[in-house]
Amino acid sequence: MLFKFLPKEVNFFDLFEKQAGYAVDAARYFKEVVSQGVIDESSLENMHEIEHQGDEIAHVIHAQLNKTFITPFDREDIHALAKELDDVTDMIYTILNRLKVYRIVKADKNLIEFASVIEESVNSVTCAVKGLKNTKNTKSVAEACIEINRLENVGDAMRDKMLGELFDKEKDPIAIIKWKEIYQDAETVLDICEDVAHIVSNILVKQA
């Protein structure tokens, strides 16, 4: 394995693992907040702190990439992986922020359902990213990627069902405007997780 000879101070694997950790923090905290049913200023501040830490680590990865000549896998894949992992955390923060801006102080059961699927998917993302460290993990990484893809399909069906019911039952157009966007945002988190899975799969294939 090429990356055995990388100098210790530029361990992209550790950085990615840390970055995935912030996505897990965000997903877990998001589920906690929407499950408790009360979205307030302090929960948004906590989430913002997680998002900010994720930003910092993404910045470190990009900066290291610019300074490093030999990388454990293709530069463009490192760049893309850091970007997409950052987007996962950002998108979860965006949903909580939108709830606040739209003056929604209580999540509905649909959003709680989405929060669980998002947490599952982000956990699989962490599995996939952690596994990149060692080619012995190829099988478990591939399985995590398959699971992420499966959860994206689950999310698509959930969003369609929720939107269909929203247009069936909700008569207040302003409520439709709000919840339509929030369900679509929730599904977008799963899309971004799928993008991570694509990048990871690609890295696996190139290493094979």
Binding test (CB under 8 A) with a second copy, winner from 6, 28, 102, 146: 102
Which tokens is 30 given?
Answer: 């998001």
Binding test (CB under 8 A) with a second copy, winner from 11, 68, 97, 138: 97
Binding test (CB under 8 A) with a second copy, winner from 103, 109, 139, 169: 103
Site for a second copy, residues 132 to 171, rule: CB under 8 A: 160, 163-164, 167-168
Minimum distance, C-beta of residue 137 to a second copy, in the bound complex (Å): 19
Which tokens is 36 given?
Answer: 């408790």
Which has the closest alpha carbon to 122: 101, 93, 151, 163? 151
Measured distance CA(131)–CA(116) in Å, rounded: 23
| CB nearer to a second copy: pick between 119 and 152 | 152
- Measured between its terminal Cα atoms, the distance across the chain in Å is 11
Asked if 205 interacts with a second copy (CB under 8 A), we say yes
Which has the closest alpha carbon to 87: 203, 159, 9, 191? 191
Asked if 7 interacts with a second copy (CB under 8 A), we say no
Cβ density class 68-81: b for 16+ within 10 Å, e for less: beebbbeeebbbbb
Site for a second copy, residues 41 to 70, rule: CB under 8 A: 62-63, 66-67
Q: Which residues contact 175 (CB under 8 A, 6 or more apart)?
A: none
Binding test (CB under 8 A) with a second copy, winner from 18, 28, 150, 180: 180
Residue ranges that bind a second copy, judged by CB under 8 A: 62-63, 66-67, 97, 100-103, 160, 163-164, 167-168, 173-174, 176-178, 180, 202, 205-206
